[in-house]
C-alpha cells in the first residue's frame, strides 16, 4: 500500500494562496489601468469634438460678419435713415457723413465698424451670442479689447490664424472665438491715415457663445462612455479572474499528478494491488480532467454564442465550419446556409484581387490581418464592416482561420456626412473655402512637380444685391445655386468651382495650355452669368466681374496668387464691371 500523502505545510499553502491573490490583484490593476487610459483618451476625443463644433460655429459667424464688413467697405460705407436706432457715428470722420436725400429725409453714413456693432446687438438679443470688433489701436474707445481679446490680438500678430477657448466666469461658461481682420484695399478708404497697409492685422472680431448646450452634450457623452468602459472593465476583470481560477485548479491537478508519479516511482516494487489502486486513481483523475474539459468547452460555447461581434471559424481551405448568432444577425444568413461554404458568398464586388492578395499575404507572414471590408447581406444590401482575422496553426501547418466582424455602416455614413458638410457650401453644394484652399495647395504642388501651369479666377456677381432686395432672399439663394451650376458647366470635370462666401466664387483651371485657353473660359463664364435667371418671383439679371492670375507666372505660393487675383477683380469692379482682367504688375502687389 502507498503511504499517505504528506500534508502541505501551512507556510507553503499560505505562499501559494498569496501568489494567487497577487495574480488576481495584478489582473484587476492592469484592467483598471488599461480601461482608465482608454477612458481618458475617449474623453479627450469628446472634448476635441466639442471644441471643433464651437470653432465651426464661431468661424461661421466671423466669416458672415467679415463678409458683411468687406461688402460695406468695398462700397465706401452705406447711408441709412437717421432714427433712434441709427444715430450718426460720432467717431466717423467723413466730409459727407450726414446728408439730406432728395425728398428731405436725413441720412447718415454707416461704416463697417458701426454696422458690425449693430449686427452684434441683434445677435446678442436674439441668440445670446456676443460679437464685437476690437483693436489694439481702436478709433472708438468702446472698441478697446478686454484682457482676453488683447492676448488674442497679440497672438495674431505672431502669426496665429484664430483663437478658441472655453472661458469660465462664475457659474457661466462660454466659448470665446476670435479671428483677425486683415487690411484689404477697400479698408484703406477709412484707415489709410492710421498707417495700415494691405495684409496688416488691423484688429479682430470676437465671438462669445454660450457653452451650456455643448458642455451638456459633452457631459452626456462622457457619462455614457464612462459607463461603457466600466462595464467592459468588469467583464474583462471577471474573465481574467475566472481564467486564473481555472489555471489554479489545473496547477493543483498537475501538482497532484506529479506527486502521484513520484510515489509510484518510489513504490514501483510494491505489491500489484497497490499498483492497481494507483492506476484506478489515475483513471479517476482522467475522468475528472475530462469533466473539466467539457465544462471548459461549455464556457467557450457561451463567450462564442453571446459575443456582440460576428464570429466565423473556417478550416484550412477557408470553408466555414462554425458561426455565432451575431454573424447571422449581421449578414442575414442562417448558420445552415453558410456551413461548408467560403466567406466569398458575402463578397460585395468592391475589392479587387490585389486587396485579397495583400490580406492573405499578411495572414501568411504575420498570422493576422484587420481592416475595413465591404460585404453584401443575404438581402443584397451592401454594408461595411471592421473585420479581424487570425490564423490558427503555424504558417507551414495551417489549421484554419478565426474572424470577428462588426457592422460599422452607420458610423461610416455619419463620418462621410460630417466630412462632406465640413468641405462643402451648405447652399450650393460647391467646395467651400477650406476645400478650395486644399485644392489650390494641390494645384500648386502639381505645378511645381510637373512644371505645368494653372489659372485662378475670382468671380464676383455684379448687381446681386439688387436682385436679392427686389425678389427676396429665397430668390437670391436660388440664383446663387444656379450660378454655381452654370460655372461648373463652363469648366472641365478636373477643374474646381468653389463658393468663397456671399456672391463670390473661385475657379481653379488645372493644366492650362496658355492665356488664350483661360480667356476663352472667362468669356464663356461671362456669357453664362449674363444670361437672365428665371426665378420663381421674377427674372434676375446679373453679370460677372472676373479677376485672373496664372501660376507660376503671377506667383508661386497661395497667398500671392489670392492677393493678385483679388487685385485684378478689384480693378474690374472699378473699371465698369461685367468683364474680366488678367493681373499685371501695374495693379500693385
Average pLDDT estimate for 417-421: 75
Which of 282, 289, 324, 321 is closest to 303 using CA atoms? 324
Beta strands in 408-495 (DSSP E): 454-462
**Whether the Cβ atoms of residue 13 and residue 215 lie closer than 8 Å to each other:** no
| pLDDT score of 458 more than 90 | yes
Do strands 454-462 and 543-551 pair parallel, antiparallel, or not at all (unpaired)? antiparallel
Task: Return the DSSP state at 352.
Answer: -
User: Concatenated DSSP letters for 60-126?
Assistant: HHHHHHHHHHHHHHHTT-EEEE--SSS---TT---TTSEEE-TTS-EEEEE-HHHHHHHHHHHHHHH
C-alpha distances in Å from residue 529, one per residue of 313, 499, 565? 62, 15, 19
pTM of the model: 0.43
* Chain segment 168-201, per-residue pLDDT in tens: 877 888 888 998 988 777 666 665 566 666 767 8
C-alpha distances in Å from residue 105, one per residue of 76, 82, 88, 118, 440? 21, 8, 14, 21, 49
Euclidean distance between CA atoms 326 and 307, whole angstroms:
7
Euclidean distance between CA atoms 70 and 573, whole angstroms:
14
Least confident segment among 405-414, 426-435, 516-525: 405-414
- Whole-angstrom Cα Rg for the chain: 37
* Chain segment 122-155, per-residue pLDDT in tens: 666 666 788 888 888 887 787 889 999 899 889 9
Euclidean distance between CA atoms 414 and 394, whole angstroms:
40
Euclidean distance between CA atoms 151 and 586, whole angstroms:
38
Q: Which residue has the higher pLDDT, 52 or 11?
A: 52
Euclidean distance between CA atoms 556 and 554, whole angstroms:
7
Q: How confident is the model at residue 409 (pLDDT cuts 50, 70, 90)?
A: confident
Q: How confident is the model at residue 293 (pLDDT cuts 50, 70, 90)?
A: very low
* Chain segment 255-285, per-residue pLDDT in tens: 777 777 778 777 876 776 776 677 567 656 6
Strand order in the sheet with 543-551: 496-501, 504-509, 454-462, 543-551, 580-582
How confident is the model at residue 121, as a pLDDT?
A: 63
Q: Which residue has the higher pLDDT, 75 or 476?
A: 476
The pLDDT mean for the chain works out to 83
Beta strands in 296-367 (DSSP E): 310-315, 320-323
Task: Return the DSSP state at 431.
Answer: B
Amino acid at each position: 500500500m502507498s503511504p499517505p500523502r504528506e500534508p502541505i505545510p501551512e507556510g507553503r499553502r499560505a505562499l501559494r494562496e498569496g501568489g494567487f491573490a497577487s495574480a488576481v490583484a495584478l489582473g484587476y490593476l492592469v484592467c483598471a489601468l488599461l480601461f482608465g487610459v482608454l477612458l481618458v483618451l475617449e474623453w479627450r476625443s469628446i472634448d476635441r469634438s466639442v471644441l471643433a463644433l464651437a470653432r465651426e460655429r464661431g468661424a461661421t459667424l466671423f466669416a458672415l460678419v467679415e463678409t458683411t464688413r468687406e461688402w460695406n467697405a468695398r462700397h465706401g460705407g452705406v447711408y441709412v435713415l437717421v432714427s433712434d436706432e441709427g444715430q450718426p457715428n460720432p467717431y466717423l470722420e467723413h466730409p459727407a457723413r450726414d446728408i439730406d436725400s432728395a425728398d428731405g429725409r436725413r441720412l447718415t453714413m454707416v461704416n463697417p465698424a458701426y454696422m458690425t456693432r449693430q449686427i452684434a446687438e441683434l445677435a446678442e438679443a436674439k441668440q445670446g451670442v456676443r460679437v464685437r470688433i476690437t483693436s489694439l489701436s481702436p478709433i472708438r474707445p468702446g472698441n478697446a479689447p478686454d484682457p482676453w481679446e488683447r492676448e488674442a490680438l497679440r497672438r495674431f500678430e505672431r502669426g496665429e490664424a484664430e483663437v478658441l477657448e472655453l472661458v469660465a466666469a462664475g457659474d457661466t461658461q462660454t466659448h470665446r472665438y476670435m479671428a483677425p481682420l486683415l487690411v484689404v484695399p477697400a479698408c484703406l478708404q477709412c484707415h489709410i491715415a492710421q498707417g495700415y497697409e494691405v495684409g496688416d492685422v488691423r484688429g479682430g472680431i470676437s465671438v462669445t457663445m454660450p457653452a451650456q448646450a455643448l458642455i451638456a452634450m459633452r457631459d452626456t457623452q462622457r457619462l455614457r462612455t464612462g459607463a461603457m468602459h466600466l462595464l467592459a472593465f468588469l467583464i474583462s476583470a471577471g474573465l481574467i479572474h475566472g481564467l486564473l481560477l481555472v489555471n489554479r485548479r489545473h496547477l493543483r491537478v498537475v501538482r497532484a499528478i506529479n506527486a502521484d508519479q513520484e510515489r509510484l516511482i518510489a513504490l514501483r516494487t510494491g505489491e500489484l494491488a497497490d499498483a492497481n489502486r494507483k492506476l484506478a486513481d489515475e483513471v479517476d483523475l482522467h475522468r475528472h480532467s475530462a469533466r473539466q474539459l467539457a465544462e471548459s468547452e461549455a464556457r467557450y460555447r457561451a463567450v462564442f454564442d453571446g459575443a456582440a461581434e460576428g464570429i466565423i471559424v473556417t478550416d484550412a481551405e477557408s470553408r466555414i465550419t462554425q458561426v455565432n448568432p451575431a454573424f447571422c444577425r449581421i449578414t442575414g444568413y442562417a448558420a445552415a446556409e453558410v456551413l461548408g461554404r467560403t466567406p466569398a458568398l458575402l463578397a460585395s464586388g468592391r475589392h479587387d484581387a490585389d486587396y485579397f492578395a495583400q490580406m492573405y499575404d499578411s495572414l501568411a507572414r504575420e498570422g493576422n490581418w484587420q481592416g475595413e471590408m465591404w460585404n453584401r447581406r443575404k438581402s443584397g444590401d451592401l454594408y461595411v464592416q471592421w473585420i479581424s482575422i487570425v490564423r490558427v496553426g503555424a504558417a507551414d501547418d495551417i489549421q484554419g482561420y478565426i474572424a470577428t466582424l462588426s457592422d460599422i455602416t452607420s458610423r461610416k455614413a455619419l463620418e462621410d456626412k460630417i466630412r462632406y458638410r465640413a468641405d462643402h457650401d451648405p447652399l450650393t453644394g460647391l467646395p467651400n473655402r477650406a476645400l478650395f484652399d486644399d485644392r489650390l495647395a494641390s494645384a500648386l504642388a502639381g505645378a511645381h512637380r510637373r512644371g505645368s501651369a494653372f489659372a485662378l479666377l475670382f468671380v464676383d456677381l455684379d448687381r446681386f444685391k439688387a436682385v436679392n432686395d427686389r425678389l427676396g432672399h429665397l430668390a437670391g439663394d436660388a440664383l446663387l445655386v444656379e450660378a454655381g451650376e452654370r460655372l461648373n458647366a463652363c469648366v472641365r470635370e478636373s477643374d474646381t468651382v468653389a463658393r468663397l462666401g456671399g456672391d463670390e466664387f473661385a475657379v481653379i483651371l488645372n493644366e492650362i495650355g496658355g492665356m488664350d485657353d483661360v480667356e476663352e473660359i472667362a468669356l464663356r463664364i461671362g456669357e453664362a452669368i449674363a444670361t437672365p435667371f428665371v426665378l420663381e418671383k421674377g427674372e434676375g439679371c446679373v453679370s460677372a466681374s472676373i479677376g485672373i492670375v496664372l501660376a507660376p507666372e503671377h506667383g508661386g505660393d497661395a497667398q500671392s496668387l489670392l492677393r493678385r487675383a483679388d487685385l485684378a477683380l478689384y480693378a474690374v469692379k472699378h473699371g465698369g464691371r461685367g468683364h474680366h482682367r488678367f493681373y499685371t504688375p501695374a495693379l500693385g502687389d
